[in-house]
Amino acid sequence: MLGVTGVALLSACGSPADTKDSGNPPNSVPKPVPAGKRDPVRDRALSAEAELLKRYDATLALASVSADSGLTAKLTAIRAEHAAHAEAIQQGYTPPSAPTPSSPPGSPTPSASATTWSPQATTDAKTALAALAGAEQDAASARTADILGSDGAIAMLLASIAASESGHAALLLGGTA
């Protein structure tokens, strides 16, 4: 930026290295829910993440997917982002009986998905990816009411998660800029 006149192009929220100023306001962390109290908004979000995690596990177990190391890496990375979503939603939330939204990363459990969604073992990768993209987009859309009806900080977290899911759908469908 030396010797160039004008306002820094990316200045409004600080430079990328300036983490102190590049974040959101200090009140951006959702307030903890009193221990032992249920929060339907978080419960819905956690159950949606659990469902997506199961779908990724089932898809990763497909022969057509596991044979493709690049695709496996891509889906594993997206799965990890869903695990991070669940963890963020769970922060400060200890309901009466804690839901278990995720199986441990790296241990796909295709049988767990049998109750809700289960691709045929012979499903080809393209079909499986389209189904995942649809599930991501549905999950993102389903959050709108809770985003509009919640306190600022949790609304912002859910909006970010919804945006992430729409990004996943774009990635799965192979869209390039």
Partner 1 sequence: MNALQTALGNEHAAVYGYGVLAVHLVGAQRDAAKNAFDTHRARRDILIGLIEAQGDKPVAAAPAYAIPFPVTTAADAVRLATQLEERLGASYADIVQSSSGDTRRTGVEWLTDAAVRAVRWRGSSVAFPGLPERN
**Where along the sequence are the contacts to partner 1 (CB under 8 A)?**
1, 4-13, 15-16, 19, 22-25, 28, 77-78, 80-81, 84-85, 88, 140, 144, 147-148, 152-153, 155-157, 159-164, 166-168, 170-171, 175-177
Residue corresponding to tokens 């389903």: 142
- CB-based contacts of 11: which residues, under 8 Å, 6+ apart? none
Q: Which is nearer to partner 1, 121 or 163 (CB)?
A: 163
Q: Which is nearer to partner 1, 57 or 146 (CB)?
A: 146
Report yes or no: 1 and 18 within 8 Å, Cβ to Cβ: no
Q: Which is nearer to partner 1, 65 or 86 (CB)?
A: 86
Q: How far is the CB of 152 from partner 1 (least distance, A)?
A: 4
Report yes or no: 32 and 92 within 8 Å, Cβ to Cβ: yes
Q: How far is the CB of 177 from partner 1 (least distance, A)?
A: 4
Pair of tokens at residue 113: 């998905």
Pair of tokens at residue 20: 């102190």
Q: Which is nearer to partner 1, 48 or 161 (CB)?
A: 161
Q: How far is the CB of 154 from partner 1 (least distance, A)?
A: 9
- Report the alpha-carbon distance of residue 171 to residue 115 in Å, rounded: 27
Give the up-direction half-sphere exposure of residue 12: CA atoms within 13 A in the CB hemisphere.
1
Q: How far is the CB of 19 from partner 1 (least distance, A)?
A: 7
